[in-house]
Amino acid sequence: MSDLQQLIKAGALVVDVRSTEEYEDEHYPNALNIPVEMTQVRMSEYGDKNRPIIVYCASGARSAYAARFLKANGYTNVVNAGGLYDMPDPS
């Protein structure tokens, strides 16, 4: 089992930071959609700053930005998973 799978099974918050349109087209099961440009205004939706958070986008660039922003704002356990297709098989 991968580290990401272990985090997800342990209750990590999975966040898709792509656009709403991209999310509606396809997304990881149970992922919350907070587009990267909305990260600051919707930060309260990330919840507990110690909870594991996994962010992903299409290629890893937007999720890298979101991860850096969250870490700079006190979130202690943020993982940039890269792109949607880098996420572990949900089954």
* Residues labelled as active-site residues: 57
User: What pTM did the predictor assign?
Assistant: 0.96
Q: What is the mean pLDDT of each run of 10 residues along the chain (91 residues)?
A: 91 98 98 97 96 97 98 97 95 76
Q: What is the pLDDT of residue 90?
A: 87
**All residues at 6 or more sequence positions from 18 whose CB lies less than 8 Å from its CB, including other chains:** 27, 33, 35, 36, 57, 58, 62, 84
- How far is the C-alpha of 32 from the C-alpha of 85, rounded, in Å? 16
Q: Spell 22-55 as b/e; 16+ CB within 10 A means b.
A: bbeeebbeebbbbbbeebeeebeebeeeeebbbb
User: What CATH topology corresponds to 3-44+61-86?
Assistant: Oxidized Rhodanese; domain 1 (3.40.250)
Q: What is the pLDDT of residue 51?
A: 96
Q: What is the pLDDT of residue 2?
A: 86
- Tally of residues, the chain: 91
